[in-house]
Amino acid sequence: MNLYELFKDTASRYPEKTAVVEGNRSVSYRDLDAVISVLAKDLEKLGAAPGQMIGLCFANSIAYIALTYALWKIDAAVVPVDVDFTEDEIRQVCDRMQLAAMISHKGESGWVEARCPFIDTPYYFRSMDVYSGLESDIHIAFVRFTSGTTGERKGVVLSHERIAERISAVNRALNITPDDNILWILPMSHHFVSTIVLFLASGAALVLAGGIWSKSILKTVNSGHVTLLYASPFHYSLLAADQSGLMMPEVRLAISTAIGLPGHIHERFSGRFGLPLAQAYGIIEIGVVCINTENPGGKPGSVGRVLPDYRVSVENAQAYSGPEGMECGELFFSGPGFFDGYFYPRIDEKSALINGWFETGDIGGRDKEGFLFLYGRKNHVINTAGMKIFPQEIEAHLNRHPSVKESCVYGRKHDRFGQTVAAMVVLNSTAEETDEETLRRFCSRSFTAYKVPSQIFFTDHIEKTATGKIIRPGEQEG
């Protein structure tokens, strides 16, 4: 199968229905299919061919979607490249992925300028002249570098068949229909195959956000009759702080993804709009395996039960202590739509999995009702005198202090205890004067002594990955 054919089938069933809205421009499914079809022929004339790995460095737009499906239509594999990458990072992707060509939203010397038909959006094409095709038994659709905070990035390989499996699995929770209008604000280079492919296969309309600030989002939500939000905690924090009085009366579901949802953001958003946030848990290797659509208000810290098509195993529980009645340990998943392997370094699916199970590297807990809660990354757990501490638990509490904008908790090496807890804190611009001892006392009211940060450093910025995950400092002498 081919994902373009999946889209074409939907276009044949809902030809007049709006597929994508971008500002004042919208395209129907029939029109978008026409753009894709002509664009595919144009790309072939430029040198794109079946089996090639082609980089796509493009901003969120109708054109991004059309270019992706056009490449799939000619059976090329799409390698998304972040628009914020530096020249060195882009060159690294080109070399490691052996790209046959690159498509970009901005022109450089030696690039061929062309335009997306009908929507008249320019794009730039460059053949690398170093590689013509990929020898593989896998029908590759998509290869994306992971955005992990440690180690080298790895190209995650996904075939057309696996992507089709995962969107079928996730829609058992989302129930996307042609009646849905979905606000899209996340970067398409990081979120596409478990979401946009599903939305367009279901006949829904994508409404592209014109900006990231709350007023712009709310205007788009209301003018676009949005029924579903799919955004990150950052966007929900902006909405929670909005004072315009605008509401979102047609929204049936608000999903938080990309990183863990801090409790204070959930509380503030729900209080502002009367709508609980449904936290999702997904990894590029395995897709979205949990979404708390069942009880987001009753269990706001949970990513929900595992979706019906998947299984979870909580391993090494003896090494981790969790709340009473909670099974806590390292999370492993199995199910359909898992990745086909890593491209760089080359590792096939069988070697990447452990007897069919994927090791996430996350520590989580499962309550008696089967709801999962995330506590942090295995390699981020702080070990203090034999006690294991989850940084996210302390961060969530620090972030509740009225003077704190955000925080990063990590372990510092210690000769006697192994590690001690340290924190970096960014204060609100309007915060009253707050010192280290004030925040330590704030923590000591809720935590036992060994969990209270022994050192708190104030900073103007906390480093993050492109998807918003905190990059924690390496172990430092303390």
pTM value is 0.84
Domain boundaries, the chain: 3-135, 381-458
Distance CA 347, CA 76 (A): 21
Q: Domain 381-458, what fold? A: GMP Synthetase; Chain A, domain 3 (3.30.300)
What number of CA atoms fall less than 13 Å from residue 91's CA on the CB side?
3
Bridge partners of 359, per DSSP, are 332
Owner of token pair 């979706």 = 307
Domain 3-135, classified CATH 3.30.70.20, yes or no: no
Q: At what angle do helices 233-240 and 214-223 cross, to 10 degrees?
A: 90
**Ordered per-residue pLDDT tens for the chain, 478 residues:** 999 999 999 999 999 999 999 999 999 999 999 999 999 999 999 999 999 999 999 999 999 999 999 999 999 999 999 888 877 778 878 888 889 999 999 888 889 999 999 999 999 999 986 655 556 789 999 998 764 434 455 789 999 999 999 999 999 999 999 999 999 999 999 899 999 999 999 999 999 998 888 999 999 999 999 999 999 988 999 999 999 999 999 999 999 998 788 888 899 999 999 999 999 999 999 999 999 999 999 998 899 999 999 999 999 888 787 777 889 999 999 999 999 999 877 888 889 999 999 999 999 999 999 999 998 888 888 888 767 888 888 998 999 999 999 999 999 988 777 889 999 999 998 777 889 999 999 999 988 888 999 999 999 999 987 667 888 886 444 4
Buried b (16+ CB within 10 A) or exposed e, 129-147: eeeeebeeebebbbbbbbb
What are 114's strand-pairing partners? 123
Rounded distance, CA 378 to CA 375, Å?
9
Do 3-135 and 381-458 have matching folds? no
